[in-house]
Structure 1
Amino acid sequence: MRISLQAFVVLWGALVFVGCNSSKKEAEPLETAKEEPLNIIFMIGDGMGVPQVSSAYYFGDSLPNFSRFKQIGFHQTSATDYTITDSAAGATAFSTGEKTYNRAIGVSVDSLPQETILERLQGEGYQTGLISLTTITHATPASFYAHVPDRDMHEEIASQLVESNVDFFAGGGKKFFNQRTDGKNLFEELVDKNYHLDTLELSETIKGKKNAYVLADDGIPSKIDGRGDYLSEATTMALNYFDQREEPFFMMVEGSYIDWGGHAENAEMMISEVADFDKTLGVVLDYVEAHPNTLLVVTADHETGGVSIGKHYEVDKSTGKKKEVPEKVTVYFNSNQHSGELIPVFAKGKGAENFQGIYENNEIYHKMINAINQAK
């Protein structure tokens, strides 16, 4: 059968139209599919440098969870006024993306409030959480929600926490809430703001409420003083709580007493705190592996103690001389203060590759924000 050129063109156009529409229809699910928002878990081992991480390998009974990371970098820690940073300036650099002076909490070098990553993500619909072993008003956790010129303004910091709308927080510091110089009882204000509050134990979270656990007048006890598994249990509770809702979350978890072990030049304390942090790290890594839409970043604000791990000597009873024990090592402290060491950064999950290299501490904020933007 012969057809005219004009009829052929019309027929060909119709076939192309049908074919194009068919292809477009098949592609629609891919075009409209959306990535899940990125969860961020930020773990800070306060005072944890390379030697502290190394202790987990020399004194532990099994391979540390640190070995589960493939993406590793280093950051430089200096504050704007001191080469050796404190925890306040270090955490503020993490939380705001801007370096500042020692003792500053969530403020710039001019003492002006700076929006933190926690506050920014709250504005984008994120759930938020904070877990610490110290008072929840201490420098590291405070730097994520408070804005004061000096870290010792604990009562003002506690007042700002009440107004911060953090969904889940756990730590110590009762005295800054209910034994205040202004006579206020901030625990009553938390309850009025629909918080499930517990000042005795890590009781079960309540869905539909914010949850607050303030469990000691000052800090939670150290591991060698009988703390138990508080850090891993609180972290597990928070993850389960966040999973009850569809919104993404940002959570900061601090292993606070690695730093205190360095200040006290107490090797047993430092080793046990690193081991406890590594145990909690295992909980979080399991979560990240089961939830691909999550980024875990692990680092420290600074190193404490100028720690090194070296040869172990014992006195030979027959000669009275020191003799090296080949199969053992010893923790040595160079000082009881912070040092200027580069600090390791471990990352796992979506966007982890961005944390390789050597960079300033405030860049961690920008890398986390970039990872969130890339996941959108």
Structure 2
Amino acid sequence: MNFKFSFLIVAFSLSLITSSCVTVQVTDNTVIGSEFAINETKPKNIILLIGDGMGLSQVSAAIYYKDGKPNFERFSTVGLSKTSSSSDLVTDSAAGATVFSAGVKTYNGAIGVDRDTIAVPTIVEQLSGDGYSTGIVATSSIQHATPASFFAHVKHRRMYEEITEFAPNSGVDFFAGGGLKFFNDRKDKRNLLDSMKARGYTVITDKLPTKNVPGKELILLDQDGMPKMSEGRGDFLPKATELALAKLSQNEKGFFLMVEGSQIDWGGHSNDADYLIEELLDFDKTIGVALDFAKKNGETLVIVTADHETGGFTLSTDGGNYNKIKPTFSTKGHSGTMVPVFAEGPGASLFNGIYESNEIYFKMMEALGRQIDSL
């Protein structure tokens, strides 16, 4: 892999410190800063991109290993999120995603339920009930912890078949990822693809289409998680995001889209730097798709963050050579480090500062003009 000189990491770190001090021009509620002008009243749409397991060192890797400027550097607002769950100092992905979807700090393993295992309404359910379009895209199965936390309510993340039962009535207009076997190869012998079709979904299991089909879409391209980038997944994540945006943006009311770069986390768990960095760069490309859409649309808030950091990943010097980077790990599990929160578009200024991870839910709702008291 190619790398750039180590002083770039200093420049990137300084950009995080000074990002809230960028000089902007404000005229008639329009903020001119970064690369495009935005209306700072409120967004019509939100795109939430979650890099599972993505800490600051993972983000920093994009500077060294991407050919060209990373899309992370296109954001004018950067904050930091404290990720502990209600049960543990170090969160898992289930509790770490439920904070975004429902605004509650809950126990590790919880999917859309609070610490007492009581179901809590998700942002997807609330917005779809109000007429917004909603979508979920992931490189894992759609039943995996992060995507599941936006449409299901179960007491433990490994209850994949039970999670799947929430999909037909979820209100989600666009699903894309893996997880086919939990629909049609179940212990209870039911075929939930039939239930999806009965609720108006077109089910696609062969390849990612190039155009949207009428009605709701369920795109399942693997039995479980999607292949790694190194196994030929290609541009699934950015292309599926483009497809989701084309579908959801047809709604004049607005939309909410959650996109997960699931396998950044898996590379961290494996302590496999090549795996992690390939997935991180794929996620960065997908961020570019979201930012390009928002720049053209003008009414879309883009948020990029992580549920936690995985692997204790860092970019060390290779021996005593300060001009050579050696990716290293300190654990096979998660860490308790804070994670970055990037925001661009109307409402982005809400995401400055340091705050608990569940505040991201309340900040999204506040941006949309739906004030809800923090729990």
Q: TM-score range by the shorter chain?
A: 0.7 to 0.9
- The offset of 1:326, in angstroms, is 4.6
Q: Distance in 2 between matches of 1:104 and 1:242?
A: 28
Q: Distance in 2 between matches of 1:369 and 1:290?
A: 23
Q: Which residue of 340, 350, 370 corresponds with 2:336?
A: 340
**Residue of structure 2 equivalent to 1:79:** 85
**Residue of structure 2 equivalent to 1:244:** 250
Q: Which residue of 231, 256, 261 corresponds with 1:255?
A: 261
- The offset of 1:243, in angstroms, is 2.6
1:214-268 CA-partner distances (Å, limit 9, x unpaired)? 1101100011121101000000011111233323100000000000000000000
Spell out the pairing of 1:1-376 with structure 2 (5 A cutoff): 38-313=44-319, 324-373=320-369
- The offset of 1:208, in angstroms, is 3.5
Q: What stretches of structure 1 of length at least 5 have no aligned partner?
A: 1-34, 314-323
**Residue of structure 1 equivalent to 2:37:** none
Give, as a single letter, the amino acid of the residue that structure 2 aligns with 1:78.
S
Distance 1:75 1:116, change over 3 A: same
- The offset of 1:361, in angstroms, is 0.3
- The offset of 1:113, in angstroms, is 0.3
**Residue of structure 2 equivalent to 1:32:** none
Q: Conserved in 1, the CA contact under 8 Å of 2:267 and 2:275?
A: yes
Whose Rg is larger?
Answer: 1
Q: Conserved in 2, the CA contact under 8 Å of 1:205 and 1:241?
A: no
TM normalised by structure 2 equals 0.86
How many residues matched?
331
Give, as a single letter, the amino acid of the residue that structure 2 aligns with 1:99.
K
TM normalised by structure 1 equals 0.86
1:284-310 CA-partner distances (Å, limit 9, x unpaired)? 100111111111110000000001101
Q: What stretches of structure 2 of length at least 5 have no aligned partner?
A: 1-40
Give, as a single letter, the amino acid of the residue that structure 2 aligns with 1:193.
R
What's the C-alpha RMSD, in Å, of the aligned pairs?
1.4
Give, as a single letter, the amino acid of the residue that structure 2 aligns with 1:47.
G
Give SS of 2:219's match: strand
Q: Conserved in 1, the CA contact under 8 Å of 2:249 and 2:255?
A: no
Q: Conserved in 2, the CA contact under 8 Å of 1:128 and 1:168?
A: yes
- The offset of 1:205, in angstroms, is 4.6
Q: Distance in 2 between matches of 1:191 and 1:369?
A: 31
Give, as a single letter, the amino acid of the residue that structure 1 aligns with 2:259.
V
Give SS of 2:165's match: helix
Give, as a single letter, the amino acid of the residue that structure 2 aligns with 1:373.
G
Q: Distance in 2 between matches of 1:59 and 1:179?
A: 40
Q: Conserved in 1, the CA contact under 8 Å of 2:94 and 2:149?
A: yes
1:341-370 CA-partner distances (Å, limit 9, x unpaired)? 001000000000000000000000000000
- The offset of 1:207, in angstroms, is 4.7
Give SS of 2:116's match: coil
Give, as a single letter, the amino acid of the residue that structure 1 aligns with 2:202.
H
